[in-house]
Amino acid sequence: MYDLEHQYREHEDQAKCNTDFHSVAKADTHIHASAMMTAVQLDQFMRRIYERDRDRPLDDKGKTVGSAMRGAGFQTKGEHNAESLNVQASYRMFGNFKNFNAAFTPLGSRELKSLFMGYEALEGEYLAAMVRECAGVAHEGAGAFLEPRFSIYGRKPSEWKTFARWVRRWQVDEMPGVLIAIQLPRVYPVWRRMGAVTSFGGMLRNFWGPLFEAALSDEDDDVKWLLDKIRVIDTVDDESIEDHPDLAGLCGADDWTSEKNPPYGYYAYYMHENVARLNALLRARKLRSSPLTFKPHAGEAGPADHLATAFLFSDGVSHGINLETQQEAVALQYLYYAAQVPIGVSPISNSVLFLKYAQNPFPTLFKRGLCVALTTDDPLMFHTTPTPLLEEYATARHAFALSSVDMCEIARNSCVAAFSDEERMDLHNDENPDCTNVPACRLNFRQATLQGELDLLAARGGAL
């Protein structure tokens, strides 16, 4: 009905604006730092590094960058190409998270991954260069901000100091368009079996302890400096692995000493609790101007209780497609709409791993008014152009028959997910069509519809 009444007016109003989709701000709120480059970009980057640094020492035993790359199987002649890196998506990944995770390791070489995607080898110089290059292309060519996820594993407390020094050394926080996010992979059993931790509580202390200690310290060290640079905390792992949704009666984190992984909701509760406490401490000590947000992966696979848990504990989610694909999540979808919880959907990634593109509920969720935006997840596997976020939008536009107004509204949603209200006003006047290219009639319709639902809920709540 809205389209019938306002379709032509929208396009007339949009034509009067001084911007278009390519110039409005947009944010990729779900992208993993180790997979920011496409396979072609990574191949070209590695070739440049080989030509420039092949004789650069890696250790005091005679190993060089060139010998390490050749030893890993990197071919320096014409017979090598991007596909040889074995990082691009294939049919073998569908429903198989193990094969997907293997693609994060170029040529299957841990040494090569450490050299190009780690913080320690050569002080993480190559990873910093990759982030800078990707962010520069996205920000200058597409008006895009990137929210790359960097992993802190909770294996040992010193991980934070290593990461903070890397960010500071290469001024990652000052790279145009970079919004730093941290993810905790849900791999507690790995560290428990290795003996790195003796309980789940130990892993939590390794992850959170250095942050609380830095916030309480009067000394200005690297981790304390970092506290004001991080924007997002995330958790990530294979959601399709069956876990126990009933959290009642479970032991505390320090008493969880088995090698079994805690349920999704158990992780989410402790992450939320620590984010809330750290925010309170940072606010009391005036160490941050805006709070950390908790935006976990949720709802790509697994049971509906993952989305229920995320609704209770998070500030937004990555994926969320099960809100429509699972019958049990229908009521949750309404709650996500009413609360306008930001959802970053990655249809191209989803199509490779769990849900074919034509079946993706993104257009349905968008038309219903949920705060959905498009994200890339892992360009290394899933994308082919130098601007993966624009590739994601272009693919969705054609596949889902999105209008130019739709595209700009989705971009606006992405900024709602990435920035606070104050930041968006600085970035652009959020209600000014000349800045967002979303006509006032569209914004007014969305707001009036949402307010009608909220009024209905308030009235029914009073009746109860």
What's CA 16's distance to the chain center, in Å?
A: 34
* Percent of the chain residues past pLDDT 90, beyond the cut: 72
Strand 343-345 and strand 372-374: the pairing is parallel
- Which pLDDT value is given to residue 7? 66
- Do 361 and 346 contact (CB within 8 A), yes or no? no
Helix (H, G, I), strand (E, B) or coil at 294: strand
Using alpha carbons, select from 76, 20, 7, 25 the residue that is nearest to residue 437: 20
If asked whether residues 170 and 281 sit together in one domain, one would say yes
If asked whether residues 147 and 176 sit together in one domain, one would say yes
> What is the phi/psi pair of residue 199, to 5°?
-160, 165
DSSP 88-118: S--GGGTT-HHHHHHTTSGGG-HHHHHHHH-
Q: How confident is the model at residue 390 (pLDDT cuts 50, 70, 90)?
A: very high
- Which pLDDT value is given to residue 195? 97
Judge whether 328 lies within some domain. no
What's CA 28's distance to the chain center, in Å?
A: 8
Helix (H, G, I), strand (E, B) or coil at 145: strand
Instruction: Tell me the pTM.
Output: 0.93
If asked whether residues 189 and 264 sit together in one domain, one would say yes
Least confident of 202-216, 380-394, 396-410, 413-427: 413-427
| CA dist., res. 332 & res. 102, Å (int) | 33
For residue 214, pLDDT over 80 is answered with: yes
393 vs 96 pLDDT, higher one: 393
If asked whether residues 70 and 110 sit together in one domain, one would say yes
| CA dist., res. 459 & res. 464, Å (int) | 9
- Do 82 and 42 contact (CB within 8 A), yes or no? yes
Q: State which of 100, 117, 134 marks the end of a domain.
A: 117
Judge whether 16 lies within some domain. no
Is residue 80 part of the annotated active site? The answer reads: no
Name the domain count of the chain.
2
Judge whether 414 lies within some domain. no
For the chain, the helix, strand and coil percentages under 3-state DSSP, each to the nearest 5: 55, 10, 35
Cβ partners under 8 Å of residue 284, min gap 6: none
| CA dist., res. 375 & res. 295, Å (int) | 14
| CA dist., res. 203 & res. 181, Å (int) | 19
Query: Is 86 exposed, middle or buried (CB count within 10 Å of its CB: 0-12, 13-18, 19+)?
Result: middle
DSSP 28-69: EEEEEGGG-S-HHHHHHHHHHHHHHHTT-BSSTTS-BHHHHH
List 6, 30, 319, 383, catalytic entry: 319
If asked whether residues 113 and 235 sit together in one domain, one would say no
Helix (H, G, I), strand (E, B) or coil at 438: coil
448: tokens are 């009036």
If asked whether residues 55 and 173 sit together in one domain, one would say no
Sheet order of strands, 144-151 included = 26-32, 144-151, 180-185, 230-236, 293-294
| CA dist., res. 144 & res. 147, Å (int) | 10
- Which pLDDT value is given to residue 164? 98
Judge whether 382 lies within some domain. no
- The string of pLDDT tens digits covering residues 101-122 is 666 778 888 999 999 999 989 9
If asked whether residues 80 and 144 sit together in one domain, one would say no
Judge whether 164 lies within some domain. yes
Torsion sign, CA atoms 131, 394, 105, 50: negative
If asked whether residues 43 and 132 sit together in one domain, one would say no
Judge whether 31 lies within some domain. no
In 340-378, which ranges are continuous DSSP H helix? 347-353, 362-368
**Domain range enclosing 98:** 38-117
If asked whether residues 280 and 147 sit together in one domain, one would say yes
Q: State which of 250, 275, 295 marks the end of a domain.
A: 295
Burial 356-393 (b: 16+ CB within 10 A, else e): eeeebbbbebbebbbbbbbbbbbbbbbbeebbbbbbbb
DSSP 220-272: --HHHHHTTTEEEEEEES-TTS------TTPPPGGG--SSSPPPHHHHHHHHH
Judge whether 289 lies within some domain. yes
If asked whether residues 142 and 254 sit together in one domain, one would say yes
What Cα–Cα distance (Å) separates residue 331 from each residue in 307, 316, 317, 320, 324?
11, 17, 17, 14, 10
If asked whether residues 140 and 286 sit together in one domain, one would say yes
Judge whether 335 lies within some domain. no
If asked whether residues 130 and 197 sit together in one domain, one would say yes
CB atoms under 10 Å from CB of 277, counted, come to: 12
- The string of pLDDT tens digits covering residues 12-54 is 666 667 778 888 999 999 999 999 999 999 999 999 999 999 9
What is the DSSP code (8-state) at residue 344?
Answer: E
- The string of pLDDT tens digits covering residues 136-151 is 999 988 889 999 999 9
Q: State which of 92, 117, 142 marks the end of a domain.
A: 117
